Amino acid sequence: MKSQWKNLHMMYEDLEKTKPYYMRGINEYLTQEQAIGIVFDEYPEFGQVWTAYQEIMKAMHNKDLSGFEDIITHYTIMGNDMDSAISTFAKDIRNSNSITSNYSNGRVEGMNHKIKQLKRNSCGYKNMAHLLWRIRQIF
């Protein structure tokens, strides 16, 4: 399933349930839903984590703050990495403006990434004016 990792990040509603695809690694024709079912049969604990992930993503996508709070407060600890993510959400549950707001800092983060990539690729600039000039060329 290593080559099919994108299926695990998709929303369940978006998975292909009727048309089979050839799955490398499994060497069979399966639908995306069947492939994920194979993983859950082999690792049932992963199925529980994936279900919690799906519920969180659905609440965020629908901008449902009360549903999100219910998921976080009723989560049962399973002893894996999802527990730390849920505890982080639980600490900041009152500051969850990103769920209800239409605003995002994605554009600013994208600009920061481009600037950092420029600095890495150039191995530094001797003159700050040259760096600023190059940043202005990007944007």
Q: What is the pLDDT of residues 84-130, one digit of tens each?
A: 988 988 887 777 777 888 888 889 999 999 999 998 898 888 889 99
pLDDT value at position 3? Answer: 75
Same domain flag for 63 and 11 = yes
Same domain flag for 61 and 122 = no
H/E stretch holding 23 reads strand 21-23
| pTM for this entry | 0.69
Same domain flag for 74 and 16 = yes
Same domain flag for 92 and 119 = no
Quick check: helix, strand or coil at residue 21? strand
Same domain flag for 112 and 49 = no
Same domain flag for 40 and 72 = yes
What range defines the domain where residue 67 resides?
2-100
pLDDT band at 11 (very low <50, low <70, confident <90, very high): very high
Same domain flag for 60 and 87 = yes
Amino acid at 54: Q
Domain total for the chain?
2
Same domain flag for 70 and 111 = no
Same domain flag for 111 and 83 = no
- Give dist(CA 134, CA 139) in Å, integer: 9
46-66 exposure pattern, b = at least 16 Cβ within 10 A, e = fewer: eeebbebeebbebbbeeeeee
